[in-house]
Chain A
Amino acid sequence: MKEADSVLEASALAKRYRRGVWALAGIDLAIPRGGITALVGPNAAGKSTLIKTWVGFEKPTRGSVRVAGIDPWKDRSAALAHLGYVPQSPALYDGLSVEDHLDLARQLRPSFDREYARNRLAQLDIPADRGGRDLSGGQQAQVALALALGTRAPILLLDEPLASLDPLARREFLHVLTDAVRGDGATALLSSHIVTDVEQACDRLIVLGVGRVLLHDTVADAMAAHAISSTEHPNAVGSFGAPDGSRIWLVRGTGDRPATLDEVVLGYLASGRTERRESAA
């Protein structure tokens, strides 16, 4: 799948690690310009691998990826010019203060907008003279986000930055991200396994399971196109256990009641698991 206005593309992308595990098994994706896209999936679904392939940290075993039309493995420097990246654990330098991190970012990337990043952090009352490692997890994540936003890159890749944050810190992080992306007209890809957060902040949804794309749609369309059935259904995508212990089915079209985004994601993840069992058998 390739669209004219796509800023992040993957074509028949497969990635196998040395130990023989396929992290990605044929991904075709085209993420359009603008807005926030959520990349959702369980652990080991390949979310980080996919993002790291776009950043140029991982080389595709098969297929290719493009960032603003550039293959990051062939021209990493040009691809990185379009990217801001927030890693999974926002590691900051031990011996550097927040302000030092902004200075360092300016040294590493001369186009880094220090004032912009500084203002973002000031709005959150993050002390500029505090050491990176002395900040709370939420503050560290905010510094990592400010460093990515300060690049003023048109594309932001965020690799599960919410995973270790408490609900309030997650909310603040998403608020800053949404505000920045909407304000700058940037494109963000946010990997997460916390669906409730995704629902608030994201425009598009990609469900990744067993190294494949199970669903790629706008959040609104994904919710509108699916429903929940309490009985087995010919249009069922997948079934999973409801909180009350009963079994429910996610179906395309109409069912007993509308599906929540959480249920849409669960239904597709369940379908991926079923496919894997069948292929193994």
Chain B
Amino acid sequence: MKGLVAWARLSFAQQRWEILLLALGVAVAIGLMLWMTSQLLGITAAYPECDFFLDEDQVALPPGCDSASQVFFGLYSNAEIFLRNGWLFGFGVGLIVGIPLVARDIEHGTAHLAWTLDRSRTRWLLRRIAFGVLVVAVLLAGLAIMTDVLGAAMQPNDDLDRSFHFEGNRGVIIVARGILALGVGLLVGAVLGRQLPALLLGLIVTGLLYAAVTLAIGRWNETEAVEAWYDRDLGAPLFVGSGVRLASGERLSMAEFYGDGSEAFQSEDGQLYATAADADAKRDPIGQEYILVIPGERYPQIMARASLVTAGAGVLLMIGAAMVTSRRRPT
């Protein structure tokens, strides 16, 4: 235990400035989110009779709700901007912590010292990684929790554990992105051995890799999506795609169906008809438009999987970094 504390202290001392800077940034972000949350909860509590999400064209709101609604949605807009861009924190923290773990030792020449004092470079790197993961997890865990709290304040009518509202912008996925970026920073830093070029390349690689991971997760989700239509209450599901099922049973994408200039008349339940008269009479449908969704109740499972895939990609990159580090020159 004493050894672990000493190792953590020495590891922190080697990266104290970037860690303190990141901690300050995260603390400010958490502070802002706390303030927004309190404002949103305050206005919701002050007007319990107002449901801000009801369609005011259809339902008459009690007096005072109109102005309260304006205040609520003003706050909501600001919080949404913050929440939708908060994903950058995960990548930023991961890269800034990950790049120096190996690259700084190579750039400053201290790799000569470390790699001869420790008889195993892999063990040395594992300890460095463990410290990096700890820092990323601690810094981003606060953000992950706070984004969930803010999201819940923005959607007071929803159970966000069963809802894809703000999917990808809240919760544990933020930590997973940090792990992915940490892996990128570590590997790119180990290959280049220079921090600034590694940061620039790391940004590009992280962007490309995240796009690839997102695409892969999207494809996986498609295989588990169910057909639905807007005529029933979908809650807050994850929209995965849409298409047309012809009367023959054949499925076409929207582009395939409408791409050849086909025209169709649609009823409220999504049925497609060749003519307006058929649509009015609900006669001889030529197909059914549908959307592919994953129901909101599967949110915990889907996000856990996405987080594992994202963090897993980061772990693979760390293994790659270990292979590079064990063979490369210290300069």
Contacts and interface: CB of A to CB of B under 8 A. Distances in A.
B85 interface: no
B108 A94 contact: yes
A104 B52 CA distance: 58
Contacts of A92: 110, 113
Contact of B117 (A89, A95, A108): A108
B10 A91 contact: no
B11 to A, nearest CB: 9
Given A57-B330, A96-B10, A109-B118, A91 B3 contact: no
Contacts of A91: 108-110, 112-113
Interface string B102-140: 000000111011111111110010000000000000000
Contacts of A231: none
Contacts of B35: none
Given A96-B13, A96-B14, A80 B116 contact: yes
Nearest to A83: B116
Contact of A77 (B13, B15, B120, B330): B120
A93 B110 contact: yes
Interface string A105-124: 10111001000000000000
Which of the listed residues A76, A78, A93 has the most CB atoms from chain B within 10 Å of its own CB?
A: A93
Contacts of B329: 52, 57-58
A81 B118 CA distance: 9
Contacts of B121: 76
A92 B112 CA distance: 10
A95 B114 CA distance: 15
A262 B120 CA distance: 40
Interface string A67-99: 000000000111011011101010111111000
B84 interface: no
| Chain B binding surface, main DSSP class | helix
A96 B13 CA distance: 6
A55 B10 CA distance: 25
A109 B113 contact: no
A93 B117 CA distance: 14
Contacts of B330: 57
A89 B330 CA distance: 13
B214 to A, nearest CB: 37
A95 B14 CA distance: 5
A100 B117 contact: no
B7 interface: yes
Contacts of A93: 13-14, 108, 110
Chain B contact-residue range equals 20 to 34
A28 interface: no
B13 A95 contact: yes
Contacts of A58: 329
A10 interface: no
Contact of A103 (B10, B109, B120): B10
A104 B13 CA distance: 11
A100 B112 contact: no
A83 B118 CA distance: 11
A104 B7 CA distance: 8
Which of the listed residues B6, B16, B119, B120 has the most CB atoms from chain A within 10 Å of its own CB?
A: B119
A76 B119 contact: yes
B13 A100 contact: yes
Contacts of B108: 91, 93-94
A151 B117 contact: yes
B117 A105 contact: yes
A107 B112 contact: no
Contacts of B113: 87, 91-92, 144, 147
Given A91-B108, A107-B7, A108-B118, 8 more contacts: A76-B121, A84-B116, A91-B112, A93-B14, A95-B13, A100-B13, A104-B10, A107-B3
Interface of A: 52, 55, 57-58, 76-78, 80-81, 83-85, 87, 89, 91-96, 100, 103-105, 107-109, 112, 144, 147, 151
15 contacts: A58-B329, A80-B119, A84-B116, A85-B112, A87-B109, A89-B109, A91-B109, A92-B110, A92-B113, A93-B110, A95-B14, A95-B15, A96-B13, A96-B14, A108-B114
Interface of B: 3, 6-7, 10, 13-17, 108-110, 112-121, 124, 329-330
CB-CB nearest 4 A-B residue pairs: A91-B109, A87-B112, A108-B118, A108-B117
